[in-house]
Every structure is written in C-alpha cells, then in structure tokens.
A and B are shown apart, each in its own frame.
Chain A
C-alpha cells in the first residue's frame, strides 16, 4: 500500500471531509457557456490540512490562475483526499470531461497507472509533482532522488542528511530516526539511503526508530517517548515533522544535532545556533509542475525532460537567516511571521521567480508568468530512475551506482 509524501494519514472522516469539499469544485460539472470553448486544465490536489499540502496547492493554483493562463484555459481544482480509489475516479471524470492537462499530486506511484495510461491514450498530458507515478507517459517532478545544487553528485535527501548528521557528530554517537508514514515508498527511499550512510560508520549506533507520520504533533509525541528512554542520544535524523522533534528536545533540555526538512521552526532554531541541517521537499514543486504542463501544451512533449529532479534545499546552522520581509533576499531562508510548521521552501529562483509568500499562503493568482528556462539541467540522471519509475531505462539495468554519485554504491540503474 502506498500512501504519499506529506499526506499525514487521515481517517475516513478526513477523506469524507475532503470529498465533501471537492463537491464544491466538482470535476464533472458542465462549464459555463462562456468557457465552453476553452481547453480544460485540472489541478488535482490531495487532502489539505497540513502546511506542506496547503502551500503546494496554493502555489499551483496561483500559477494556474495567472491572467494569461485564465484567458486561454478553463482551470479547475479538484481535491481527491487520501484514497487512491477516489483519485482514480476523479481522474476518470476529468478525462471524460475533455481535460487537456492534469497536474496531480499522486496518492500512489502504481495504483493510478491504468487510468493515466487511459488518459494519455485520449490525448491528456499528465504532470505529477512531489510524489511520482510509474506510468511512462506521465511527467514526474520530484525531489525524492534530488541532489544539492552546490554539488550535483550529492544526491538523496535521506543519504545527504544522514551524512551531515554523521559529520556533525564527528563519526561517532547514538542516533535516533524519525521516519514518515510506515509503508510508503517515499519513507522507504529516505530511510534506506540514510541507513546506507549510517552503516558505513561503525561508531554510529541507531538506538531508536519511530514513525512521526510527517506530522509535527505525532513526531513530538513519539520523540518525547523515545527521548525518555535514550537521554544520552547524540543526534536525531528526521523526515518532515522535525519541528516537533526540536520541541521535544527543548522540553527535555537537550540541544543536540537535528537534521530534518524545511519547517520554519527548525530554521529559526538553526539561526539561533542549534546544530543541524534543514533540507527536503519544497512545496514550490506544485507550481513548477503547472508551468511545466503549460510548456508541454505550448511547445510539445519534447520541449522538456520526462523525469525532473528538484534540487535539494540545504540550510545549516551557519546559513540559516531570517527574512526581513516576505521574500528570500540576501540569502535569507525563513520568515519571522510564519507558523512553526510553515514549509519555507516556496521559492525556486531559476524556474519559479514569480512565487511569493502571499501566493503560498492564499493561492492568490500571480500577476504574470515568467517563461520557464530550459529544464535540461534539472533532468534526473538515468542512474536514479528505478526510484521513481520502478524500472530502468532501455539499455540500463539494476545495479550499484559507484560513479558520479555520493554516497557510492547505492542501488540504482547502470548501463548494460
């Protein structure tokens, strides 16, 4: 069973709630007479309720509703909750209603394959963001296998943050791991690549693992429990929810290195001298996916690579810096006015210059779209394809990747 990144597990109630809301933006309702001639674009979102999903959705809609897009296309938003079956039936409705482009947050990498293939056959363009789909005809934009901009050889969030933690600890110490949602492909990739680093250091001992479900509150509770048992722990490796981990540490009076994702609170603590690293998934992906889809419609399928890797943000104790206002200027990278669990990475200078704090928090349409530069530099190396497509490209086979990637030896695709 594959759930998805950042979708904290929601019960039947939340799914029903999201379903109820999605009714307001019904996928299949006939469009008004004036819009009848326009081609249709759908932005297919997941359950909203945590900051990551909220910002990703807002940014995607802010771009999709830009004046030049709205003039040409009929843009609709559909929320599919957390249930793959619901997303499949929503996608079927969109295809049936004549969708030209569907930008989606995929709930499962595999369950949507048949419906996506069916849509491709009907001439629909699919762009998946953050999560990935294995259907070969869809575009993927994801950070899961992404590398740092300063050094493109340093790939994988899990591995890079694990290495950073090892370095902060000088190669020896007891480590705890705050994982995501059990059984999801994203959690597995992060965890496996992190363990491959920890296992290289005999001095590093993983004393406890818990599942914080990418949720700040659950992470805080689980960290509180684990810290009671391991008061001598030296560092914590965390997926999203790390703001809860830091709060549990503060309540226990411990200031030890923490690596985690992009919450405003972790960056604030880093800027105050807390040892650690902030990296991981950027909500800006949602908006980049919409721009990518628009470019495919305008310039054709060959104008952009099929597999796109978003670069890994990387903020440390030395580089964390509060922004004077609502922009990333002069190397600043978090906001004084934002909530603790606000995900700071709403900008992507090269491909999303039109982003703004307002767009991320309200979804208000951006005033004008900037042209997308060549995406070739962000193409995913074929050696990492197995993580997002489930298979290697033609002419490649599975095997350990020894060259061009740090850490060496991770499973991947190699040339036959």
Chain B
C-alpha cells in the first residue's frame, strides 16, 4: 500500500501545482471558474473511474461503461417524465443500469472468459436494447432537482454541490476500496486469484460484486450527466470509456490489477480534466490538442511510476 499511497500523494501534489501553472496556458488562469469547471467535469470522471478502478483492481477491464451510463441517464429521465418522484426515478435508473454490471459479473465469475470481451458483448447488447426500447428517441429532460446540482443556483454550506459530491465520492470510494472486507478481497483477487482462494476469500462472489458495483457507479454518472445537460443522447456515455481507463492507470493503479488506491484515481481525474481545460484555453488546433492530450497522459503515467517507486 505504501507505493500506491505515494503515487496518490504525488498526483495530488501535481494537481495543486498545476493550478498556478495554468497561467502558462491563459492569462485568465488561475481562476475560480477554472477550479469550478475542473471539479464539475472531474466529478463525472471520478465516479466512472471508481467502477473502472474496481474492475481493473480485480484484474479485469470494463468496456460496458458507455451502455451503463446511457441506461442510467435515459431511464432516470424516462421515469421522471412519466411522473415518478425524482428519488424513485433515480433509483429505477440506477437499478436498470446496474443490470449491465450484474450480467457482466455473473458471466465473468462463472466462466473464465476474458472480462474485456464479456463486457464488450454485454455493453453492446445493452446499448442495442436501449436503442430498441427507446426506438432511437433520446433521453428526456432531467428532473429539476438534478439540474439544480449543476446550474450554479444551489450551494451547500457555501460550496458548490459538485465539490460536496466530489468529496463524498472520494471518501466513500476510498472506504469501499481500501477499508472494507470486500475491497480488501478485490486487492487479493487482483494479485493472485489462486492465493485469494487458498486464503478463503469468496473469489466468485467478490468478482461478481465488483462488476455489479461498477455498473451502479456508471449508472450514477449517467444520472448526474442527465442533470448536467438536462437531457441525454443515447450515446452520452461514449466519451467516458477511454478516459476512465486512463485516469485509473495514471492514478497509480496497475493495469494488471492488485495495486492502486481510489484517492490516486480521483487526483488523476482532476489532473486530466484540468489539463484538458488548459489545452482548450491555449487555443491550439484540434489535432495539436489531441496530440498534447495523449502526450500528457503518457507523461503523467511516467511521473506516477517514478514517484510511486519500483514495483
């Protein structure tokens, strides 16, 4: 845990360092607007990456992210517009989106198929079913309670709701991943499934749970994205899959599983988001933006490996 903790600390240091350094990209930086945007856009990424992080920790990779996000967003909007109270609509949206993770979990834990193929297939089926059920019609307007979380009207004890949510997600995610029996057993499974089994860990059940919990996390991101945009296209989740994998690894987790902690992932989510804001501010042509983005992900990865020490 020492190395993962070291990497997380380094990531947080980089985030804090980059805030004043943003001046390089724009004379208007650093600013409150910059920090607010980073927190808001970083929140979605941090939540998606919690699910992806658990799956990667267990030794898998999850490609069903876009489908689960879209299901959560679509059905929350759908039920709210059918007149269901918002908490119930959100609950139903989460329940339906978690079905993707549930089925992933059942298949992965009861076969030895590679997780990325299983999640690709289940995600594809989920997206196709959504297209069929919705008949191509996009998600509907968000219930007003969700819109209020992001439109700048609401504040919680003087802080933006997205900041409060980010802190809550950080604490909850860290607790689940690092301080519960479930979380500890995921580390063990990621390190060595055989050893975990010998140690008496319920490998199958824990593996199943990983994918289910991940599906719920994606669905939650979908629900919040619905509120952010107060509406959603069916492909709303597509742009979050690859960044979710990137921040987990940049945040210090091993892509082959068994190491990492969620605090590092959240820091990486903020770092990558802030960098993308900086790159946008600099006004480079689109091609240059993409090259820079890729190069910076590589650089951050390199730094995190150096900072975290050898493994």
Residue of A10, A20, A217 near B225 (CB, 8 A) is: A217
Measured CA separation A218–B276 after assembly (Å): 13
Q: Is A182 part of the binding interface, using a Cβ–Cβ cutoff of 8 Å?
A: yes
B interface residue count range (under 10 / 10 to 19 / 20 to 34 / 35 or more): 35 or more
Residues of chain B with a CB closer than 8 A to A232's CB = 28
Give the residues from 121 to 137 in chain B that come closer than 8 angstroms, CB to CB, to chain A.
Answer: 123-124, 127-128, 131-132, 135-137
> What is the number of residues of chain A that contact chain B, defined by CB distance less than 8 Å?
53
Residues of chain B with a CB closer than 8 A to A16's CB = 124, 128
Q: Mark B135-175, 1 if CB is under 8 A from A, else 0.
A: 11111110000000011100000000000000000000000
Residues of chain B with a CB closer than 8 A to A244's CB = 229
Q: Is A161 part of the binding interface, using a Cβ–Cβ cutoff of 8 Å?
A: no
Q: A225-B276, A225-B277, A227-B33 are in contact. Are A50 and B283 (CB under 8 A)?
A: no
B148 CB to closest chain A CB (Å) equals: 11
A310 CB to closest chain B CB (Å) equals: 22
**Interface contact A225-B37, CB-CB below 8 Å:** yes
Q: Is A192 part of the binding interface, using a Cβ–Cβ cutoff of 8 Å?
A: no
**Interface contact B280-A226, CB-CB below 8 Å:** yes
Residue of B nearest to A211 (CB): B286
Count of CB-CB pairs between chains A and B under 8 Å:
147
Measured CA separation A364–B37 after assembly (Å): 43
**Interface contact B152-A210, CB-CB below 8 Å:** no
A356 CB to closest chain B CB (Å) equals: 16
**Interface contact A224-B37, CB-CB below 8 Å:** yes
**Interface contact A247-B234, CB-CB below 8 Å:** no
**Interface contact B151-A228, CB-CB below 8 Å:** no
**Interface contact B28-A229, CB-CB below 8 Å:** yes
Measured CA separation A1–B277 after assembly (Å): 27
Q: Is B228 part of the binding interface, using a Cβ–Cβ cutoff of 8 Å?
A: yes
**Interface contact A247-B29, CB-CB below 8 Å:** no
Residues of chain A with a CB closer than 8 A to B33's CB = 227-228, 231, 252
Q: Mark A9-46, 1 if CB is under 8 A from B, else 0.
A: 11101101110110010000000000000000000000
**Interface contact A216-B136, CB-CB below 8 Å:** no
Q: A217-B236, A224-B37 are in contact. Are A18 and B131 (CB under 8 A)?
A: yes
**Interface contact B232-A217, CB-CB below 8 Å:** yes
**Interface contact A225-B137, CB-CB below 8 Å:** no
Q: Is A221 part of the binding interface, using a Cβ–Cβ cutoff of 8 Å?
A: yes
Q: Mark A194-234, 1 if CB is under 8 A from B, else 0.
A: 00000000000001111100011110111011111111100
Q: Is B303 part of the binding interface, using a Cβ–Cβ cutoff of 8 Å?
A: no
Give the residues from 217 to 270 in chain B that come closer than 8 angstroms, CB to CB, to chain A.
Answer: 225, 228-236, 238-239, 241
Give the residues from 32 to 84 in chain B that come closer than 8 angstroms, CB to CB, to chain A.
Answer: 33-34, 36-37, 40-41, 63, 66-67
**Interface contact A340-B230, CB-CB below 8 Å:** yes
**Interface contact B286-A247, CB-CB below 8 Å:** no
Q: Is A380 part of the binding interface, using a Cβ–Cβ cutoff of 8 Å?
A: no
Residues of chain B with a CB closer than 8 A to A57's CB = 136
A-to-B contact residues, CB < 8 Å: 8-11, 13-14, 16-18, 20-21, 24, 48-51, 53-54, 57, 182, 207-211, 215-218, 220-222, 224-232, 243-244, 247, 250-253, 339-341, 361, 363
